Amino acid sequence: MKITRRSAVGALAGAMSALKLRGVQPEPPPGIEALSGPFQGSRESLSKYEIPEWFHDAKFGIWAHWGPQSAIEDGDWYARNMYIEGSPQYNYHVETYGHPSKFGYKDTIPRWKAERFEPRELMKLYKKAGAKYFVSMGVHHDNFDLWNSKYQQWNAADMGPRKDIVGLWRNAARDEGLKFGVTEHLWITYKWFSVSHGHDEAGRLAGVPYDGANPANFSLYVDSDDIWGDHDLDWSESGIPEWWKRHWYMRIKDLVDKYEPDLLYTDGALPFEDYGLSLIAHHYNANAKRNGGKTQAVYTSKRQLDASRGVCVLDVERGVVDKIWPHPWQTDTCIGDWHYKRGVKYKTPKTVVDMLVDIVSRNGNLLLNFPLPASGSLDFEELSVLSGITKWMGVNSEAIYGTRPWKIFGEGPGTEASAKKSSFNENQRKDLTDADVRFTTKGDTLYAFVMGWPEYQAVIRPLATKTELRVGKIQNVELIGFNGKLEWTQDESGLKILVPQQKPSDHAVVFKITGA
């Protein structure tokens, strides 16, 4: 439930204390001062933004959604759910560590030690698997910065692993020639973390405040006025005060200024209008200054309105758009839970390949999270999934990188199922089969992905001689990864290809077609 608990005077005091973290004084509201560069902090100015070609070409990125909530290895949103009485993570916390009035989230942070964290070795694996960009989490909803933060004393350089996690990831990515990104989930923290100020409603400790209610801990738990409980977390800006918007701006601007990311991701819509627009303009302008005046930076928002007007890239969480999108876009998803969870069932390499091909055929990119355990080292099952992706990309990547959509994204039963929903539709997806086909193009070449290995013959119906697609006469067909010559025919029912006895790769296979 949502409970109002303090006066406006108390809120103002909390605002000033939050802004004075580490002795930093408030800045003037952003957007008033002139911004140096091609963009100003307005939608009109940012409508002239163009998505850079590197992002359009990259198609595949890997993300480390990793931070102090990984210390307990009990899944995502631990820092919130441990304060929601009766939730599985609350029950686990009480049984394992004690009641959150006595042992709170702040007390779990020392358990995140990252003692086996080797970012350079991980980056080599990610590059080998085909990632063209790597993304580090910058700050999650738990208000803990993963960099040497100017405005937040709760940060990874000073606590937990005592390492500049973002900086180490950035250096490793740049050394391997990958583009580098960061994610921020901070804007909603004011509401998200407010449950830490509550108390149990039942039991022997009913009414005893959790540790987040102690003003001495507000620098981590936030001095918020209301408690947004289990079922009423309003994922909007309503009720978020001006001081928090300004504090968000200062924190994320510090992240951008220190680490110069190629990509900045917000978990949600572009927040806080003028503040958010000013931040994006600053991100783009700073990048342009490093690239001869041309912006090569990316910002992602999960609100279609933001992306449809040129401001940024659309991000769809755990799903796909329902058609070929007119501009490059991105899916962000995970092989398991967002934060590491012991015993969770991971996506198979087959599922990842299906998603990657489906997304790329619709003009999108896949950003895939491999959640690290507290130690910072991938577990055996994660390494197995990564190995499967690596093997497939080693054969078929030419049909992924630098490609563009064809006239249609695909054909088959999987197209009907995926068209009904977009975000958060993963749990309804089924593995694609040899009855499903996806397409990409590069120059005069058409790539047809048959999403399973046919027993005898692959049939690609959209490449029939008489269709509304006006397909031309095919001149040659090759199977990527197979050196022999194929037997094939093209007629009014489609392109029919006799497949060899040995498949060149697991999962989807790719036919390289010219003349169509």
pLDDT at 225 over 90: no
pLDDT in tens, 94-119: 999 999 999 999 999 999 999 999 99
The helix-helix angle for 242-259 and 8-19 (nearest 10°) equals: 10
pLDDT at 328 over 50: yes
Amino acid identity for residue 355 in this structure: M
Separation between Cα atoms, residue 17 and residue 21, nearest integer Å: 7
User: Which residues face 511 on adjacent strands?
Assistant: 448, 479
CATH 3.20.20.80 range(s) for the chain read: 49-71+110-187+240-393
The band of 422, judged by pLDDT with boundaries at 50, 70 and 90, is low
pLDDT in tens, 429-472: 788 999 999 999 999 999 999 999 999 999 999 999 988 888 88
Q: Is 182 helix (H, G, I), strand (E, B) or coil?
A: strand
Q: Is 75 helix (H, G, I), strand (E, B) or coil?
A: coil
Q: Is 90 helix (H, G, I), strand (E, B) or coil?
A: helix
The band of 2, judged by pLDDT with boundaries at 50, 70 and 90, is very low
262, 256 contact by CB (below 8 A): no
CATH architecture type of domain 49-71+110-187+240-393: Alpha-Beta Barrel (3.20)
User: C-alpha angle 400/269/248, rounded to 5°?
Assistant: 115
- Phi (first) and psi of residue 149, to 5 degrees: -80, 140
Separation between Cα atoms, residue 37 and residue 483, nearest integer Å: 51
Mean pLDDT of the chain: 91
| Residue 312 φ/ψ region, left for φ over 0, alpha for ψ in the -120 to 50 degree band, beta for the rest | beta
H helices of 233-379, in order, are: 242-259, 273-290, 304-308, 349-361
pLDDT at 420 over 80: no
CA-wise closest residue to 365 among 73, 23, 132: 132
From the candidate CATH numbers 3.40.630.10, 3.50.50.60, 2.60.40.1180, 3.40.50.960, the one assigned to the domain spanning 410-514 = 2.60.40.1180
The band of 26, judged by pLDDT with boundaries at 50, 70 and 90, is very low
Query: Which of 9-13, 74-78, 141-145 is predicted with the least confidence, judged by mean pLDDT?
Result: 9-13
- Phi (first) and psi of residue 210, to 5 degrees: -70, 165
Mean pLDDT of 414-439: 75
Mean pLDDT of 299-314: 94
The band of 417, judged by pLDDT with boundaries at 50, 70 and 90, is low
Amino acid identity for residue 334 in this structure: C
What pLDDT score was predicted for residue 385?
98
Separation between Cα atoms, residue 505 and residue 450, nearest integer Å: 12
Structure tokens at 162: 């005592």
Separation between Cα atoms, residue 245 and residue 234, nearest integer Å: 16
CATH 2.60.40.1180 range(s) for the chain read: 410-514
Counting residues of the chain whose pLDDT is more than 70, the rounded percentage is 91
pLDDT in tens, 357-372: 999 999 999 999 999 9
- Phi (first) and psi of residue 497, to 5 degrees: -125, 125
153, 143 contact by CB (below 8 A): no
What pLDDT score was predicted for residue 11?
38
267, 303 contact by CB (below 8 A): no
What pLDDT score was predicted for residue 110?
97
The band of 249, judged by pLDDT with boundaries at 50, 70 and 90, is very high
What pLDDT score was predicted for residue 429?
76
What pLDDT score was predicted for residue 428?
72
What 3 state SS string does 436-501 have? CEEEEEECCEEEEEECCCCCCEEEEHHHCCCCCCCCCCCCEEEECCCCCCCEEEEECCEEEEECCC
What are the E-state strand segments in 50-90?
60-64
Mean pLDDT of 191-197: 97
pLDDT at 90 over 60: yes
97, 103 contact by CB (below 8 A): yes
447, 401 contact by CB (below 8 A): no
